[in-house]
Amino acid sequence: MSAFENRLALVTGASRGIGAATAEALAAEGAHVILVARSSEDLEKVEERIHATGGSATLAPLDMLADGAIGKLGQAVGGRWDALDIMVLNAAMLGKLRPVQDIDPKEFSQTIALNLLASQAMIAAFDPMLRQSGKGELVGITSSVGANPRAFWGAYGASKAAFDTLLGSYAEENAQTGKVRVHIVDPGATRTDMRADAFPGEDPHDLKAPDVVAQAIVERLKSDAQTGGRLIVEG
């Protein structure tokens, strides 16, 4: 039997990059994966690849910043399944890299809204289902700039620092019950569209593929790692 046979997983930002690779890796291990992202067309491509390898998935096209969208998603998933075993919070935006004094307030608000507030809303919507699993797993995809500030990365870094704190608090709050385990994953330099936007002159072939991060996440979920720990993916 595969590691996640008969388990339900949900991945945000699942249309490309690390999110898509993680969804496919979970499906390859037997999980039924709910694919969440804005682009239906891109999600369908991920679903096709999952089906081609014998996996199963459900599409959930969603703008996570739309009013009430996350609550409706929670109701829809809860109306079909009793429990959620794995949730991967991967959706995020980079924004333009600029000095702190030049950060655009509107873009900063959008960055905080997606990278932090939407993640809290996802936890709020799916916490009951994660607890119902009895062994719920929450994975948050973070960045090194959340822990180590870098020039011109203030807006994105601030959103990830707050995200890390949010996940750490959730881990502590659930540590005694053992019903939900939290993993904070720093993928490091990875061949993604976001990385290309941040470092346009970089040769993508020098970077590890998203599949490497996805496999590291799968192995982490299989392990007996303590809740709230930070996994830095090397390579």
Which residue in 92, 69, 67, 87 sits closest to 15, CA to CA?
Answer: 92
pLDDT, tens digit, 9 for 90 and up, residues 22-41: 999 999 999 999 999 999 99
Q: Which domains does the chain have, with CATH numbers?
A: 8-232 (3.40.50.720)
pLDDT, tens digit, 9 for 90 and up, residues 181-220: 999 999 999 999 999 999 999 999 999 999 999 999 999 9
Residue 114 has a pLDDT of 98
Average pLDDT in the 92-121 region?
Answer: 98
Judge if pTM exceeds 0.95. Answer: yes
Total residue count of the chain as it appears in this document: 235
The single residue of 153, 156, 163, 170 carrying the catalytic annotation is 156
**Cα–Cα distance, 159 to 145 (Å, whole number):** 10
Q: How confident is the model at residue 78 (pLDDT cuts 50, 70, 90)?
A: very high
46: number of Cβ within 10 Å: 25
Q: Would you state the structure tokens that stand for residue 157, as one six-digit string? A: 């870094």
Whether the CB-CB separation of 118 and 140 falls below 8 Å is answered with no
Residue 129 has a pLDDT of 98
Whether residue 170 lies in the annotated active site:
no
**Cα–Cα distance, 23 to 211 (Å, whole number):** 10
- Percent of the chain past pLDDT 90, that is, above it, reads 98
Non-local (6+) Cβ contacts of 234 within 8 A are 188
pLDDT exceeds 90 at position 235: no
